[in-house]
Structure 1
Amino acid sequence: MASLERPHAVADRYSAVLRLLPAPLQAILRLRSAVVLGALVVVLRVVLSRSRRKSRKITDFERIARPVRGGEKTGASEYDVVLVGGGTAGCVLASRLSENPKLRVLLIEAGGSSVHNPFSRVPALYHRFFHTGYDWEIFTTPQEHAASKRKYWPRGRMLGGCSSMNAMIFHHGAPTDFDEWAAMQKGQEGASEWQYENFSKYFRKFEKFHPSKDYSLVDVALRGSAGPVNVGYFGNNSETTQHFLEACHNAGLERSPDLNTAKGTLGSSKVLTFIDSQGRRVTTESAYLTPEVLARPNLVIATHAQVTRILFEGAEGEAPRAVGVQFQDRKGELFEVRAKREVIISAGAIHTPQILMLSGIGPADHLSSFNIHVLVDHPGVGAHLMDHPVIDFHFRDKTKSRMSALSYDAQKFGKVDPAAVLKQLAYFAEYKIWASGPLTTNVAEAAAFTRSDDAGLLAKAGVTLPAPDDLEDSTSGSGAPDIEIFFTPMSYIEHGRVPFPPGHHVGVHTVLLRPTSTGTVRLQSAKPSDAPIVDPKYFATQHDITVLVRAARLVAHIINTAPFSSATLDPAGSSDTSGLLNHNLAQQSDAEIEALIRDRVETLYHPACTARMAPREDGGVVDPLLRVHGVQGLRVCDASVFPTITSGHTASPTIALAERAADIILGAYGE
């Protein structure tokens, strides 16, 4: 590990020396590095463009599918497995299934690859993908119980999907979450394999954990060591993050060396990240679609191809069989391709139900309203949408750390700030040359997990729980959390869409892990190009507000606990004209906090459960082997099949789910 840490040590010494110099000289040296870097990037791009290995990523679709022109089909093309969606799960499946050279695998992705985008592997710059062609740019309906606001939901439209534009937190959730998944299957074939004792092997299968001398209490025997996905404690570790963790400990949230073991996820810790030893973001595209995998003759990847519907055949009286898909290119020209064995939908919790409904699988009355032929009446498709709502709280940073200055972007209320631009160029140079500095942050650097019924902890925050406490326990078990509090060494508003006021700021954020409010995904029209209607129904139950008010009280306790309290400005001495800062959180009433929660709620990017794994009579869409109820040759594999949302971040369970699905499918076909 010494050789891996050396570049970071050099960068730290460089930064320390640089800070001793006069500010103008610092700026000149940093700008000079940025200019040199820019020239290097241009040269490297030219070299890479000439040396790229040939892959089987296809945009000339007549080579792989048959065009549909004037209602007639020409040519013929058939694969054993057709995968729809190359997101977090789809890349895993494409790689694992094509390990069997006898299986011809076609992966169809609506977006392109992100690997040659200069921002794609820089951890802190994932927000640069928002509101671009790499983003589906989903907005919810106005939220009745959340100030009637429409909420922006970033969703990755590229290989790697949302693993290419998330906060890179490697976290499984509580072990009992998966025991609950298994119990919800009511003894169907394969149900027991979702129990944590059995399913946990798939976390270790994809993981390649890199030990850290700074976190030596982690038991490496419990971590995976040979998987394709690099994880570890890489990434920025700001001084204010350490202040937050120490304050959590002093406030009663015990430190936990590892939040991803059978012991559970309660406690506080620096988060493990999907960042490699070179400071680069790890996505499922970069981990699973390596040059060696792309060179496999039995794997073909079609990019910039949007699937419009699944094709079915079958005699009357028999369950219809999925035999292929129809998709369109960027010009709208239609193509069809056949699947000899099966079709697998991995388009995510928003677009998987959309594709199913466009194909005639969904609530009959809803489909009929758009004159879509009802193939299978499936009320569960697009129902039970669950998400993790997050509330952002903002505080001034008295330490004026480099990280907290990132809250103030290069745009100064619509005007370019030359000083901010210069600073960002210096950060980019530091990252490119030494793989260190602020741009290695995963943004959410530390987290604490707890329960809303922890009377002892809440008492320290000045909250006395009612006796009896009638709040519904929505967790999966007594050791599972329903509250997450995470720390960011900078602040942002609405995912960075709104400029933050000048100065140094940090954020503390509360997450409702086990909401009781559920929403829907519905069609806007029968046109595949029309975005679906997304209504998460945030705060439809009082339970969800009550939990978040208790979480806000814990935040107030933490920020007023040393050493965090000394790192932020005293509210009496601050002049907040923006109305954004929350130094007086402890003095606010429950009603005031509730109003703030309803106004500020945003998504944590974790939609799930819209094609749930459960018995059909319970609203389930797929069985424990991920086969869609009522049809043949069709499976779903992405977060939409979660029976209920996990009490943690969803990327890791989704990757493990895809690893499990690959084993199921390969087992069905034999070696």
Structure 2
Amino acid sequence: MAAPGRGRAGSAAPALAAAVLVSLCLAAVSEEEQLENLRFVRHAQDAPAVSSYNYIVIGGGTAGCPLAATLSEHSRVLLLERGGLPYANMSSEQHFTDALADTSPASPAQRFISEDGVVNARARVLGGGSCLNAGFYTRASNEYVRAAGWDARLVNSSYRWGERSLVFRPDVPPWQAALRDALLEAGVTPDNGFTFDHVTGTKIGGTIFDNSGQRHTAADFLRHARPRGLTVLLYATVSRILFRRQDGVAYPVAYGVVFTDPLGAQHRVYLRDGAKNEVIVSAGTLGSPQLLMLSGVGPQAHLEAHGIEVLVDQPMVGQGVADNPMNSVFIPSPVPVELSLVQVVGIPRSGSFIEGVSGSEFGMPVSDGALRWARSFGMLSPQTGQLGTLPPKQRTPEALQRAAEAMMRLDRRAFRGGFILEKILGPVSSGHIELRTADPRANPAVTFNYFREAEDLERCVHGVETIERVIQSRAFSNFTYANASVESIFTDSANFPVNLLPRHANDSRSPEQYCKDTVMTIWHYHGGCHVGAVVDDDYRVFGVQGLRVIDSSTFKYSPGTNPQAPVMMLGRYMGVKIQAERWRK
């Protein structure tokens, strides 16, 4: 596949829409100045108490933005986003960690800790996870498309619609090039070069960071919207979906939503008259099942325990939630290493994916970076001791801060290098989401059950073994110490103090134990509203009418090495399908 070009509009648009051509995540200006340019984007407190639209899309994230933009071409659409506009420090690779380290109540990355003890984050910003992630872009496999029952031709055109303006070919620095060659030397073949396709072997994928290192996001899709057809409200927290009974209709019908603005005022939005109009939930893996339950669609006993009136007893809402477990190894380098996020991926046949990120402190000075990451619980940060010294249940903020303070006392050269990480396919293990409270602003309780199934643990071990072969390869030798064995990287605390394994009573250091003790997230969680269990093949919610769920919560397995591209594609794909269906009706 040829490398995509720089961002450009996909079609001629009115001057008002052209204002959105300034990337929402790139503007180093205040939110007020950005809003001045984006006339259809407003604060929720400026919304009327009552309004009506053809479509109400809940969640302005990776799926919600392309979906709303597409539907606005011929209909009146309201897009409700609980967060705000991305700010300047999210705009470049150099600032990748800044948003994730933000622990303020208005942070675009809302922290949560799973019941397994693994620290995680969910997006709370227009553009969703594409404003927070490492930018890697790759399509789902052909097998995944067939299994999902998607129209392959429409899938491809939906991908291309976004790729024309959002996706770039990365400039591969020496560390990433060495990783690519090392994967090939380790037997992860063939060499597939640069491609968006998900194929076995080693490849360079796409990125949403352009050649100057600036981030582009799903919010950029709003430039394709018809300005008079779209209204976007920021800081709008939806508390419930409204349903009513209609004569001659077997199921409750969604007819609107209630949302609250930052000042606490409630607003009601209704669907305009007509059977073709719908509420569409695109609030993500945590938000979509949570909102269904808050609206009375979910397991009866669980809803009643929270004082929620049960509309539809649907025991599968919130079930089958999974997170791809990630384990990584920090590789100290004898030479300085240039900053790079994920660009190269190895796809072995063993069911795990190998990737890498590099750069001393990811652009953060040791003096404050370590403590900032510790206070935010730390993710993929060598300053927190790789989290390997702390098994999941022991990763308290206080413990991580102590680990970070210990790391700050080390020589700065200890942090030169990069991570090689593995993420397993699937996974097979899954868990569930439950409400903690009826407050829509609160995170639900999430259990992922990492490595509950032996198959997942076996895949992790194969992935770690592949990383070991990469470390020992000739191709990667320029970025490893000549006297450093794989064992010493983990155990020699005097010379390599970053990867320290947890101690156990039996001093177990098996690969299986390593996988369990050092598990982290790579933010690829999914499920909770599975196709066939909660929604049908057209993403309509079973047991009600006028309601769909379109986002990663419908995935049973995470597609390919990274779900970003398939989720963006799904928003465009379903927008086109819904429009066609509307015209047929």
Q: Name the SS for the 1:325 alignment partner.
A: strand
Residue 646 of structure 1: how far off its partner (Å): 1.7
Aligned to 1:494: 379
Aligned to 1:178: 145
Partners of 2:569 and 2:170 lie apart in 1 by 21
- Matched residues, percent identical? 26
The 1:258–1:46 alpha-carbon spacing in structure 2 relative to 1, beyond 3 Å, is closer
Indicate yes or no: 2:45 matched with 1:109. no
Counterparts of 1:230-629 in structure 2, within 5 Å, are: 230-235=166-171, 237-254=172-189, 255-261=191-197, 264-285=198-219, 287-290=220-223, 293=225, 296-315=227-246, 318-340=250-272, 341-401=277-337, 403=338, 438=339, 441=340, 443-452=341-350, 482-490=351-359, 494-496=379-381, 498=384, 499=404, 502-503=412-413, 504-569=416-481, 570-571=483-484, 576-577=493-494, 579-581=497-499, 591-614=509-532, 620-629=533-542
Partners of 2:457 and 2:35 lie apart in 1 by 55
Partners of 1:529 and 1:44 lie apart in 2 by 28
Aligned to 1:456: none
Partners of 1:249 and 1:366 lie apart in 2 by 50
- The answer (yes or no) to whether the contact 1:512–1:547 under 8 Å persists in 2 is yes
The 1:505–1:88 alpha-carbon spacing in structure 2 relative to 1, beyond 3 Å, is same
Residue 445 of structure 1: how far off its partner (Å): 2.6
Indicate yes or no: 2:115 matched with 1:120. no
Counterparts of 1:40-59 in structure 2, within 5 Å, are: 45=29, 49=33, 52-59=36-43
* Paired residue type of 2:347: F
- The answer (yes or no) to whether the contact 2:243–2:254 under 8 Å persists in 1 is yes
Q: Deviations over 1:606-657 (max 9, x none)?
A: 111211111xxxxx11111111111111011111112432232001000111
Partners of 2:474 and 2:146 lie apart in 1 by 38
* Paired residue type of 1:543: E
Partners of 2:78 and 2:251 lie apart in 1 by 24
Residue 257 of structure 1: how far off its partner (Å): 1.9
Q: Name the SS for the 1:539 alignment partner.
A: coil
Name the count of aligned residue pairs: 499
CA RMSD of aligned residues (A): 2.9
The 1:312–1:50 alpha-carbon spacing in structure 2 relative to 1, beyond 3 Å, is closer
Partners of 1:280 and 1:370 lie apart in 2 by 44
- The answer (yes or no) to whether the contact 1:310–1:359 under 8 Å persists in 2 is yes
Aligned to 2:366: none
Partners of 1:659 and 1:50 lie apart in 2 by 25
Q: Name the SS for the 1:609 alignment partner.
A: coil
Q: Deviations over 1:152-174 (max 9, x none)?
A: 21211010000110011111132
Partners of 1:80 and 1:650 lie apart in 2 by 29
- The answer (yes or no) to whether the contact 1:360–1:374 under 8 Å persists in 2 is yes
Residue 298 of structure 1: how far off its partner (Å): 2.4
Q: Deviations over 1:240-272 (max 9, x none)?
A: 2111111111222221124433xx411112222
Residue 136 of structure 1: how far off its partner (Å): 4.8
* Paired residue type of 1:165: L
Aligned to 1:424: none
Moved more, 104-113 or 496-505: 496-505
Q: Name the SS for the 2:319 alignment partner.
A: coil
* Paired residue type of 1:282: H
Partners of 2:38 and 2:162 lie apart in 1 by 26
Indicate yes or no: 2:516 matched with 1:647. no
Aligned to 1:472: none
Moved more, 345-354 or 658-667: 658-667
Per the normalisation by structure 1, the TM-score is 0.70
The 1:609–1:60 alpha-carbon spacing in structure 2 relative to 1, beyond 3 Å, is closer
Q: Deviations over 1:44-87 (max 9, x none)?
A: 749994994251222254643x2xxxxxxxxx421111111101
Per the normalisation by structure 2, the TM-score is 0.79
Spell out structure 1 runs of 4+ moving beyond 4 A.
43-48, 195-198, 572-575
Q: Name the SS for the 2:160 alignment partner.
A: helix
- The answer (yes or no) to whether the contact 2:108–2:124 under 8 Å persists in 1 is yes
Q: Name the SS for the 2:251 alignment partner.
A: coil
Unaligned runs of 5+ in 1: 6-42, 67-75, 144-149, 183-193, 209-228, 404-437, 453-481, 584-588, 615-619
Q: Name the SS for the 1:562 alignment partner.
A: coil
Partners of 1:268 and 1:171 lie apart in 2 by 13
Residue 566 of structure 1: how far off its partner (Å): 4.2
Residue 201 of structure 1: how far off its partner (Å): 3.2
Q: Name the SS for the 1:256 alignment partner.
A: strand
Q: Name the SS for the 1:514 alignment partner.
A: coil
Residue 305 of structure 1: how far off its partner (Å): 0.8
Partners of 1:276 and 1:337 lie apart in 2 by 38
Aligned to 1:476: none
Q: Name the SS for the 1:319 alignment partner.
A: coil
Residue 337 of structure 1: how far off its partner (Å): 0.9
Partners of 2:358 and 2:148 lie apart in 1 by 35
Counterparts of 1:42-121 in structure 2, within 5 Å, are: 45=29, 49=33, 52-59=36-43, 61=45, 63-64=47-48, 66=49, 76-100=50-74, 103-114=75-86, 117-121=87-91
- The answer (yes or no) to whether the contact 2:535–2:548 under 8 Å persists in 1 is yes
Indicate yes or no: 2:578 matched with 1:665. yes
Partners of 2:51 and 2:115 lie apart in 1 by 44
Q: Name the SS for the 1:669 alignment partner.
A: helix
Q: Name the SS for the 1:647 alignment partner.
A: coil
Partners of 2:38 and 2:313 lie apart in 1 by 44
* Paired residue type of 2:147: E
The 1:62–1:129 alpha-carbon spacing in structure 2 relative to 1, beyond 3 Å, is closer
* Paired residue type of 1:232: F
The 1:271–1:199 alpha-carbon spacing in structure 2 relative to 1, beyond 3 Å, is closer
- The answer (yes or no) to whether the contact 1:230–1:282 under 8 Å persists in 2 is yes
The 1:44–1:551 alpha-carbon spacing in structure 2 relative to 1, beyond 3 Å, is closer
Residue 129 of structure 1: how far off its partner (Å): 0.9
- The answer (yes or no) to whether the contact 1:181–1:643 under 8 Å persists in 2 is no
Unaligned runs of 5+ in 2: 7-26, 362-377, 385-403, 502-506
The 1:198–1:60 alpha-carbon spacing in structure 2 relative to 1, beyond 3 Å, is closer
- The answer (yes or no) to whether the contact 1:395–1:582 under 8 Å persists in 2 is no
- The answer (yes or no) to whether the contact 1:393–1:582 under 8 Å persists in 2 is no
- The answer (yes or no) to whether the contact 1:176–1:196 under 8 Å persists in 2 is no
Residue 178 of structure 1: how far off its partner (Å): 2.0
Residue 491 of structure 1: how far off its partner (Å): 7.0
